[in-house]
Amino acid sequence: MELRTKEMLTSMGLYALLVLLVYHLAFSQVDSYDVTPIGAGLLWLAIVFTSLLGLNRSLVHEKDQGCLEALLLSPIDRPVIFFGKAAGNLLFLLIVEVIIVPLFHFLFLQNIEMSGAVWMLALALFVGSLGIAGVGTLLATMSVNTKGKDFILAVLFVPVMFPLLYAMVAALSAVITGEVLFPGEWVGEYWRALGLGAGYDAIMLLIAFGLYEFIIGA
């Protein structure tokens, strides 16, 4: 477990770093650029790519070493398995975010005065990550048993997560540039987006929780 944690964290962290590097490629031909208006979107993109990698890894390991069968044999309730896996994925995602969010700020948003407080940023990240980890765990459990594996995960995961990501990009964008783009209105905008995202989380987590039993039993 210890070993795997290290491996997961290094691969996810490194991957996120590479995504940030590739972002620079997109801006490399302009002398001075300002990514602030699209900063929130870029940050979420990095998180989505990294989480795709992490979700897939976390279940491929289970499958390769027969851990999932062992878990099924053990006298634990099936819903508990879902919570365990989802909580694990959420934890990994949060740790990686703690690394890449300051890094992103350092690399791309240095001269920006953020509109919102840090806790608002953290709350938006948490609501998004909660949905990603919950639904992602369900979809990854499906996709590891298919022929396509990570390809299938991406095909299913991105459209399902889209509404949540849309809301979370809006929330994060309000935190980063709200004062500049919508002066006076951004706090309301932030809470509205966060509310929508939390609602989507609630529905999706409930569905994922209810259906996980079928997936893991099949």
Query: Binding other proteins by CB under 8 A: which of 73, 75, 183, 214?
Result: 214
Q: Which is nearer to other proteins, 101 or 204 (CB)?
A: 204
Q: Which is nearer to other proteins, 43 or 196 (CB)?
A: 196
Q: Does 46 bind other proteins (CB under 8 A)?
A: no
Q: Does 211 bind other proteins (CB under 8 A)?
A: yes
Q: How far is the CB of 119 from other proteins (least distance, A)?
A: 26
Q: Does 100 bind other proteins (CB under 8 A)?
A: no
Q: How far is the CB of 4 from other proteins (least distance, A)?
A: 26
Please answer whether residues 145 and 68 qualify as being in contact, where contact means their C-beta atoms are separated by less than 8 angstroms. Answer: no
Residue with tokens 């783009």: 181
Classify residue 198 as exposed, middle or buried by CB count within 10 Å of its CB (0-12, 13-18, 19+).
middle
Classify residue 189 as exposed, middle or buried by CB count within 10 Å of its CB (0-12, 13-18, 19+).
middle
Lookup: tokens for 16: 């996120």
Distance CA(189)–CA(156), nearest Å, equals 29
Q: At what angle do helices 2-27 and 36-64 cross, to 10 degrees?
A: 150
Please answer whether residues 201 and 164 qualify as being in contact, where contact means their C-beta atoms are separated by less than 8 angstroms. Answer: yes
Backbone phi and psi for residue 164, each to the nearest 5 degrees, phi listed first: -65, -45
Q: How far is the CB of 11 from other proteins (least distance, A)?
A: 24
Q: How far is the CB of 100 from other proteins (least distance, A)?
A: 26
SS3 state of residue 218: coil
Q: How far is the CB of 215 from other proteins (least distance, A)?
A: 6
Q: Which is nearer to other proteins, 13 or 41 (CB)?
A: 41
Distance CA(122)–CA(169), nearest Å, equals 13
x-marked contacts with other proteins along 141-180 as a string, rule CB under 8 A: -x--xxxx---x--xx-xxx-xx--x--------------
Q: Which is nearer to other proteins, 99 or 142 (CB)?
A: 142
Binding residues (CB under 8 A) for other proteins: these are 135, 138, 142, 145-148, 152, 155-156, 158-160, 162-163, 166, 203-204, 207-208, 211, 214-215, 217-218
